[in-house]
């Protein structure tokens, strides 16, 4: 029987050092210290909270990506699909591919949890799931930009499609990258 591994506190991406016994010892993490002091959380409670927070965020994004993917998968069966220009079909295929990839990335934490179930691997679960979530949201954003280009191009023409896609890209970049980065830096974690 494999010995139980302990989950250690801190940021899932914090630097770790091997303890010589098959486990890891985390370097000092001010956030973990704050959680311990202000929340009276044990390291395991912190990892459980991080996992629960991540699952809640994934629930929101999974619904959106699944709806988008479902919509895109029905487009070729619509009467106007043959009217798409070759480049529009390319945009459609790229957007659909990105949406399917985003679906896979955003659902991957659930599969990972099932595979790691009862292995006391909350730390690697949270760490990997965090990366899947960021990659999935990035891919979802690119899929949305492609869909915006396709819709505006169909309704108003190619130039409008490119302009709308650029506006969507900038908007998502500001909301999903710039604003969080600025706030994180202001808090001193950047």
Is there a domain that residue 9 lies in? no
Torsion of CA 139, 145, 151, 157, to 10 degrees: -140
In a domain, 11, yes or no: no
Does residue 4 lie within any of the structural domains?
no
Q: Which two tokens stand for residue 52?
A: 């629960």
7 inside domain: no
Q: Does the pLDDT value for residue 55 go beyond 80?
A: yes
Chain mean pLDDT for the chain:
85
Residue 8 has pLDDT above 50, yes or no: no
Q: What is the mean pLDDT of residues 129-139?
A: 96
Range of the domain at 99: 23-186
122/134 Cα distance (integer angstroms): 18
**CA-CA distance, 73 to 50, in Å (whole number)?**
34
Q: Which residue has the higher pLDDT, 175 or 36?
A: 175
Please state the rounded mean pLDDT for residues 129-134.
95
- Point out which residues pair with 26 in neighbouring strands: 16
Tell me whether residue 17 is in a domain.
no
Tell me the mean pLDDT in the region 81-106.
Answer: 94
Q: What residues pair up with 126 in beta bridges, in sequence order?
A: none
pLDDT, greater one: 121 or 163: 163
Neighbouring CB atoms inside 10 A of 112's CB total 16
**pLDDT, tens digit (0-9, with 9 covering 90-100), for 88-100:** 999 999 999 999 9
* C-alpha–C-alpha distance, residues 90 and 140, integer Å: 17
Radius of gyration of the chain (CA): 21
Q: pLDDT tens digits, residue range 153-183?
A: 999 999 999 999 999 999 999 999 999 999 9
Instruction: Count structural domains, the chain.
Output: 1
| pLDDT beyond 90 at 36 | no
Q: Grade residue 28 by pLDDT with cuts at 50, 70 and 90.
A: low
């Amino acid at each position: 029987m494999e010995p139980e591994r302990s989950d250690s506190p801190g940021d899932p991406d914090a630097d770790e050092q091997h303890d010589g016994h098959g486990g890891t010892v985390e370097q000092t993490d001010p956030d973990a210290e704050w959680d311990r002091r202000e929340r009276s959380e044990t390291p395991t409670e912190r990892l459980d909270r991080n996992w629960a927070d991540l699952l809640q965020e994934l629930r929101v994004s999974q619904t959106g990506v699944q709806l988008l993917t479902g919509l895109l998968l029905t487009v070729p069966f619509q009467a106007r699909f043959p009217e798409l220009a070759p480049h529009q079909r390319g945009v459609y295929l790229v957007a659909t591919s990105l949406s399917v990839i985003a679906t896979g990335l955003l659902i991957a934490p659930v599969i990972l949890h099932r595979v790691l179930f009862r292995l006391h691997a909350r730390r690697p679960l949270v760490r990997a799931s965090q990366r899947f979530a960021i990659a999935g949201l990035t891919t979802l954003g690119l899929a949305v930009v492609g869909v915006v280009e396709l819709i505006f191009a169909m309704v108003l023409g190619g130039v409008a499609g490119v302009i709308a896609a650029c506006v969507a890209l900038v908007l998502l970049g500001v909301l999903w990258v710039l604003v969080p980065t600025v706030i994180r830096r202001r808090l001193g974690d950047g």
